[in-house]
Amino acid sequence: VDYGMGNTGSVKNALAFLGAEAVVSGNPEDLHRATHLILPGVGAFGDGMKNLADSGLIRILEEEVQVRKKPILGICLGMQLFADIGEEGGIHKGLGWISGRTRRFQIDEKKFRLPHIGWNDVEIRTGSTLFEGATPAVFYFVHSYLIEPSDSSAVVATCDYGEVFSAAVEKE
């Protein structure tokens, strides 16, 4: 999903490396034809929601994901936008697909630098569809905010960086 906030080129290249065909688009017809969606994101929560609203994509995504139940993967800011609200630069309404909030790390910044940048081990919870068949993983992070679901069962992978945080969430 191209809404002007994502690292769409990197995501498309990664999918091509894996042998998957991908179309980068913000066109409603392309999103309707897609079998799966990816919402990448780099930037601030409020800006991400503004870009989705300004491009008319919130309504399209609601239809495709909430009504038609099309699978969607949110990466970085894309995942954070799934929350009810985001607290970055004020309080902003999110997509509301994962009950909870996106908030700043609550850590000792004398010991742990923000943004959190680098490779870290991620603990994957058993039973996750997203990580089915995956072995313990290492992911690269660049963020100062995290998604905090109201229902902890939505958390399918965690990482520890001064506090244990949700590295991945899953619903339905």
Cα distances from 100 to residues 38, 97, 116, 149, in angstroms, run 20, 9, 21, 4
CA distance 150 to 100: 5
Burial category of 68 from C-beta neighbours within 10 Å (exposed 0-12, middle 13-18, buried 19 and up): exposed
108: helix, strand or coil? coil
**Taking a C-beta distance cutoff of 8 angstroms, is the pair 39, 1 a contact?**
yes
126, two tokens: 């058993």
Per DSSP, the three-state class of 42 is coil
Q: pLDDT in tens for each of the 172 residues of the chain?
A: 999 998 899 999 999 999 999 999 999 999 999 999 999 999 999 999 999 999 999 999 999 999 999 999 999 999 999 999 999 999 999 999 999 999 999 999 999 999 999 999 999 998 899 998 887 689 999 999 999 999 999 999 999 999 999 999 999 9
Query: What is the predicted pLDDT for the residue at 6?
Result: 83
Long-range contacts of 25-34 (CB under 8 A, 24+ apart): 25/1, 26/1, 26/2, 26/55, 26/57, 28/56, 28/57, 28/60, 31/1, 31/57, 31/60, 31/61, 31/64, 32/60, 32/64, 34/64, 34/70
Q: What is the pTM of this model?
A: 0.95
pLDDT value, residue 109: 95
Alpha-carbon distance 23 to 37, whole Å? 10
Residue 126 has what pLDDT?
Answer: 85
